[in-house]
Amino acid sequence: MCLVAAELERQGIATVAIVLLRAIAERVRPPRALCVPFRHGYPLDTAGDAVKQHAVIEAALRLLEDPTLTPPAVVDYQEGGSHPVPGR
Amino acid sequence: MGNLAEFSLPVRMLLRAYRWRRIDPVPWAPLRKPLAESRIALVSSAGFIAPGQPSFDDSVRGGDVSFRDISSSTNVSTLVETHRSDSFDHGGLAGDPNVAFPIDRVRELAQRGRIGAVAPRHLSFMGSITAPGRLVRDTAPEAARRLVADGVDVALLVPV
């Protein structure tokens, strides 16, 4: 996913990637990544729960709107929070 | 955080030892217009296929780097998840593909005006590609060209 994201960005499409393993995202360095605390197989949290899925997507979209981020932007998802916070 | 402890010891060892490709320099495409005016596409690596589409080829050494176009009008309940890994629970994806291919959620965002439009097609890749050379050289550029041709401004990438 991260390698595809990089190519999309090279061709002018802004991307944000959901990431399940921060350590790998830090090594690969996608342009924008939202690190989520969920199990593999559940990248948008709970199956059948539109509210929770929207919360994750909204956090991802906010990364696109954040003018302070610089590449690579690897940010942790804050469950129940209104704003994701920059990672390490 | 999702973590390596979810996996068996052999998979953990593989993930730790694998020589991940480092993106350098990191490209950066800023948002060109407000999200409320932007067209959004989904890119999934859950190996989803739509009815009538060929399966991914599990026999390809290093992984099948092809992708499938998923029409924006697709009923998400008709998508079949074919990710080849047995290292995670596939039950959520089978019950609700939106958990990794959130087309219903994106449609709802468009209806609310949070995004401008849903792209006419989305892209489905197979994950767990261990030899990504052809992906980087051929497949990803072609995928990007298709989304550019569709007037896509933003892509949301969802792994599994």
Question: CA geometry: angle at B152 spanning B62 and B140, to 5°?
Answer: 15
Eight-state DSSP code of residue B97: G
A80: left (phi over 0), alpha (psi -120 to 50) or beta: left
Portion of chain A with pLDDT greater than 90, in percent? 85
Contacts of A85 in chain B (CB under 8 A): none
pLDDT(A82) > 70: no
Chain A stretch 47-86, residues whose beta carbon is closer than 8 A to a beta carbon of chain B: 47-48, 50, 53-54, 57-58, 60-61, 64-65, 70-72, 76
Please report the sign of the dihedral spanned by the C-alpha atoms of residue B68, residue B15, residue A22, residue B132: negative
Nearest-CA distance from B36 to chain A in Å?
11
Contact A76, A22 (CB under 8 A): yes
> What backbone phi and psi angles, to 5 degrees, belong to A34?
-110, 115
Tokens read off for B114: 């949070």
| Inter-chain touch B156–A31, beta carbons under 8 Å | no
Cα–Cα distance measured from residue B41 to residue B27, given in angstroms and rounded to the nearest whole number: 19
Residues of chain B where predicted confidence (pLDDT) is lower than 70: 1-2
Cα–Cα distance measured from residue A70 to residue A55, given in angstroms and rounded to the nearest whole number: 23
Give me the pLDDT at residue A81, please: 65
pTM above 0.90, yes or no: yes
Q: Which helix (H) or strand (E) holds B2?
A: none
Interface test with A, best of B26, B84, B88 (most A CBs within 10 A): B26
Interface confidence: ipTM more than 0.90: yes
Please state, rounded to an integer, the average pLDDT across all residues of chain B.
92
For B160, the closest of A9, A41, A70 (CB atoms) is A41
